[in-house]
Amino acid sequence: MNIVTDNKWIGQRTIRPDGVDKVTGRAAFAADTTMPGQIWGKVLRSPHPHARIKSIDTAKAEALPGVKAVVTSADVVDFPLEKGAVMLGIQDMRWMCRNVMARDKVLFPGHPVAAVAATTEAIAAEACKLIEVDYEVLPFAIEIDDALKDDAPILHEWNKFDGRPSNIVGKLEHKKGDVAEGFARADVVIERTFTTRPVHQGYIEPHACLISVAADGKTTIWSSSQGQFMVRAMVAHLTGIPQSSIRAIPAEIGGGFGGKTIVYLEPLATLLAKKSGRPVKMVMTREEVMRATGPTSGSKMTVKIGATRDGRITAAQGMFYLQAGAYPGSPIRGAAGCSFAPYDIPHVLSQGFDVCSNRSKVAAYRAPGAPIGAYAVECVLDELAEALKMDALEFRLKNAAREGTKAAHGPTFPRIGYVETLEAAKNSEHYKAPLGTLQGSPRGRGVASGFWFNAGGESSAQVNITEDGNVVVTTGHPDIGGSRAGIANICAELLGIDYKRVSVVIGDTQTVGFSNLTGGSRVLFASAMAVTQSTEQVIKTLRERAAKIWNIDPEAVKWETGAAHPVSPNAGQFPPLTLEELSEKAPSLGGPVGASVQLNTQGAEGGFGTHICDVEVDTDLGIVRVIRYTAVQDVGRAVHPSYVEGQLQGGVAQGIGWALNEEYIYTGDGKVDNPGFLDYRMPVCSDLPMIDTLLVEIPNPKHPQGVKGVGEVPLVPVMAAVANAVHNALGMRFYSLPMSPPKVSAALEAPVAQAAE
Amino acid sequence: MAKVHVSTTVNGEPMEFLCEPYETMLDALRGALGLTGSKEGCASGDCGACSITLDGRLVCSCLMLAAEAEGREIGTIEGMAQGETLHPLQQKFLEHAALQCGICTSGMLVASEALLRKNPDPSEEEVRFWLAGNLCRCTGYDKIVRAVLDAAAEMRETAP
């Protein structure tokens, strides 16, 4: 496939199609809409981390004036455990049905046990208090070590691991060569154990929905999610309403980062709306978001890597235990699969273990699992480079995966851009610049790399030419970070018209073909393919129309700069026919012009990034400050460079939060003790420097514009880059995250410098 | 308890509404007044998505009672553009791609406008500390800070 490089719109920093609505407060997010007659829904949540539900009595709540409906697990479609998995994407409906409403047992504080709809939010909340739940409180385990003890309370009694009841609910193994043989050939072997805490995706918009179920079962869902088709399918499964009756309308989404790839409220609001006959609105509080949605796994990992004296890695082994929370589903694939992928290593054994514990069910978070594993692996690589007295980037270059490298997780890499990111990092101004000094505040520099699989999959698009000769593109993916701007650039490029003439909208489930989740860094990759093919069909139609008017062969017509032209003077001497002119003539030439394409896209190649981080440590307060940061990434093709840079910058900010401050803290009775933004400390503006980006563009040969997914890679290397910088500054390494002020202070005050964990 | 009647000014227009005594200004804006540009991210004054001005001063509308609006002047994101003409901050946010999901954008703009009224020539550090009460999870703040600095520069040039 030829990649066109002489572009007018691709690569331009155009104004996003949804921009003006968003800077003027007009854009409608999940909680911004109302319906006539709407009432309010609220969820009653478990106060216990682990308990058996003996009975639920809703009579008093139902009797409260203003209450219109109460639902419990008896109203939710059951997916019995013994009947086996019912998969929707990566989600097993057996767990989803129990996660949205507890059956038999509650497994975390915040687990829904009932839901109420009433005429006001206050009455709904009051009614929740009147519901009587008789619990048999059970012992609980939250941390991985506790959940793995021999006498640990078992969340799912039916589950066995190695023949015994266990909280290990899944295992995955990638094996290449023979690690014993590889380690035997190594001159230096380093093995370390790391822990990370669960962290929340931290989207600013809480989950919300507004749902109407008409008397004939026609259901309208207004909610923000990372996939309106996922919402429709989940609700259909959990309520029994057929998908054809459910119109899921994607509201603007106020951040997701993976956390909105599953549903929480929508099935409950649908059941309440059905039971009450009224539209039901539900909006989570921040506290509910923190207690009952997300986060990503906490982890415990042991990584062992060996290398020869000349800096060749001979073997690598990783054991990644990830905390799933209430139900199976830790991102062990990302941890075990991605962590060693940037390197050409002959012998690899990488194992992931999915561990249930009494915490909210894990949800995807930006390159799920990969940043966790990369933190461990890239820190060990840093120690190896130091032991070998090699520059950290040179060491990575010497072992870098390239075209033809067989990755332990399966694929043989095609043309990839990892080496280019290392070289760009090495040649960057940042890497060449001295660290500088500040009296009493040690500084350090660290580097780290990362890999993420990226994804293709199902996408649909429609391109319609309006009667006045402009363009409407409809895709099926919620736009979470500017994908509409990229699509406008691509469509304008292909049609040769001003990008402002292209309107890009996100269709609802009943107006555009099935499109899989906004996730896996797949949206621009996949929807650009569907939009490109649709636009090409439109152009073909337009050429045929011009040929008809000119009475020449369609093959003798070319499309350029927004108009049909004869391919050469030999084909005929005609003035060009513009898009406007052809639209005007459309009724007499065969009808409206438009095309729709539905694809299962293939060819989304993995992405690589390399980051450089400078820190300064306030040794009095234990505060680590990032003072300079450069993210380098192979982005394939930056269709809209500003939003590509934005993905890198945003991912880095999240990683800095994960590295330095963010963590779930628990009370002695198993509740999240910091369920708000004051105590769950995400980076604020004054915590961060400008975040520099270097976009390496190695076009994806399997994509018409050369696009590779870019959204997730930027989080993968960050915690390791920060940790390596802290090590460089202090000469001590932290084997657990976050490197928060109390932990750093304690380590600095400890008598032995190497005592950090 | 009966609802409270409130007479106030919103974005220069006289307005009246009824509210519960416990309702926040954010509830009243999003509910009775139908101005949903101000967002609720936390309801605890930590995220700044609900930022408005009260008699010109930047406040979190989730921390203010609706009844307190009596006789005061409220400014929200909906009042920032003059008709079809965007405020320079709004324009610069678009040009710099200083928004991704857009949920924090209203609050960021209202807070930035309050800053530039007070300090037309802020340093990067002053912008960063002023906006430290406005959380953004998408952008890493880089492009937001650049947009504010660029808007400030342009506003200084065109100031009478």
- CA dihedral (A587, A593, A598, A602) in degrees, to 10, reads 160
Any A CB within 8 A of B76 CB: yes
Residue A725 in tokens: 């910088």
| Rounded CA separation B9/B21 (Å) | 19
The order of strands in the sheet holding A691-696 is: A443-452, A607-618, A623-634, A691-696
| Rounded CA separation A693/B95 (Å) | 18
Q: Per CATH, the architecture of A33-138+204-255+260-292 is what?
A: Alpha-Beta Complex (3.90)
For residues A268-282, one letter each, b for 16 or more C-beta atoms within 10 angstroms of the residue's C-beta and e for the rest, the string is bbbbbbbbbebbbbb
Contacts of B94 in chain A (CB under 8 A): 15-16, 19-20, 23
pLDDT (0 to 100) of residue A1:
40
Residues A387 and A190: beta-carbon distance below 8 Å = yes
CA nearest to B89 within chain A? A23
Please spell the DSSP secondary structure of A428-456, one letter per residue.
SHHHHS----BTTB-EEEEEEEEEE----
Asked if A32's CB is within 8 angstroms of B36's CB, the reply is yes
Angle at A12 between CA A10 and CA A16, to 5 degrees: 100
Any B CB within 8 A of A215 CB: no
Mutate to test the interface with A, among B103, B115, B125, B149 (most CBs of A within 10 A): B103
Q: pLDDT tens across A202-224, in order?
A: 999 999 999 999 999 999 999 99
Q: How far is A26 from chain B (nearest CA, A)?
A: 6
| Rounded CA separation A422/A413 (Å) | 17
Residue B16 in tokens: 């009246």
Any B CB within 8 A of A664 CB: no
Any A CB within 8 A of B63 CB: no
By annotation, the residues of A acting in catalysis are 712
Q: pLDDT tens across A552-569, in order?
A: 999 999 999 999 999 999
Whose tokens are 């840079």? That residue is A645
ipTM of this complex > 0.85?
yes
Tell me the CATH class for A299-361+372-447+605-756.
alpha beta
Residue A539 has pLDDT above 70, yes or no: yes
Q: pLDDT tens across A20-66, in order?
A: 999 999 999 999 999 999 999 999 999 999 999 999 999 999 999 99
Residue A371 has pLDDT above 50, yes or no: yes
Show which of residues 123-152 on chain B sit within 8 Å of chain A, judged by CB atoms. 124-125, 127-129, 131-146
**Beta pairing class for A347-356 and A168-176:** antiparallel
pLDDT (0 to 100) of residue A41:
98
Q: How far is B144 from chain A (nearest CA, A)?
A: 9
Residue A322 in tokens: 């990830």
Residues B79 and B56: beta-carbon distance below 8 Å = no
Asked if B132's CB is within 8 angstroms of A686's CB, the reply is yes
Of chain A, the percentage scoring pLDDT greater than 90 comes to 97
Sorting pLDDT into bands at 50, 70 and 90, what band is B27? Answer: very high
Sorting pLDDT into bands at 50, 70 and 90, what band is B160? Answer: confident
Angle at A582 between CA A576 and CA A583, to 5 degrees: 150
Residue ranges, CATH 3.30.365.10, chain A? 19-26+456-601, 299-361+372-447+605-756
CATH of A19-26+456-601, one of 3.30.479.30, 3.30.365.10, 3.30.360.10, 3.40.1390.20: 3.30.365.10
Among the partner-chain residues A20, A31, A678, the one whose CB lies closest to the CB of B46 is: A678
Q: How far apart are the first and last CA of chain A?
A: 52
In 3-state terms, what secondary structure has residue B65? strand
| Rounded CA separation B153/B159 (Å) | 10
Angle at A276 between CA A271 and CA A281, to 5 degrees: 65
Residues A656 and A683: beta-carbon distance below 8 Å = yes
Asked if A29's CB is within 8 angstroms of B46's CB, the reply is no
CA distances from A384 to A186, A387, A634 (A): 11, 5, 25
Asked if A678's CB is within 8 angstroms of B100's CB, the reply is no
Of chain A, the percentage scoring pLDDT greater than 70 comes to 98
Contacts of B44 in chain A (CB under 8 A): 286, 676-678
CA distances from B43 to A447, B64, B129 (A): 38, 10, 21
Count of CB atoms situated within 10 Å of the CB of B142: 25
Any A CB within 8 A of B90 CB: yes
Asked if A686's CB is within 8 angstroms of B128's CB, the reply is yes
CA nearest to A692 within chain B? B142
Residues A169 and A356: beta-carbon distance below 8 Å = yes
Strand-pairing partners, residue A168, are: A355
| Rounded CA separation A449/A451 (Å) | 7
Higher pLDDT: A753 or B73? It is B73
Average pLDDT, integer, range A227-236 = 98
Count how many residues are written for chain A.
757
Contacts of A252 in chain B (CB under 8 A): 101-103
Residue ranges, CATH 3.90.1170.50, chain A? 33-138+204-255+260-292
Q: pLDDT tens across A467-491, in order?
A: 999 999 999 999 998 999 999 999 9
Residue A437 has pLDDT above 90, yes or no: no
Count of CB atoms situated within 10 Å of the CB of A242: 10
Contacts of B145 in chain A (CB under 8 A): 685, 690
Q: How far apart are the first and last CA of chain B?
A: 51
pTM above 0.80, yes or no: yes
**Beta pairing class for A471-475 and A502-506:** parallel
Asked if B35's CB is within 8 angstroms of A25's CB, the reply is yes
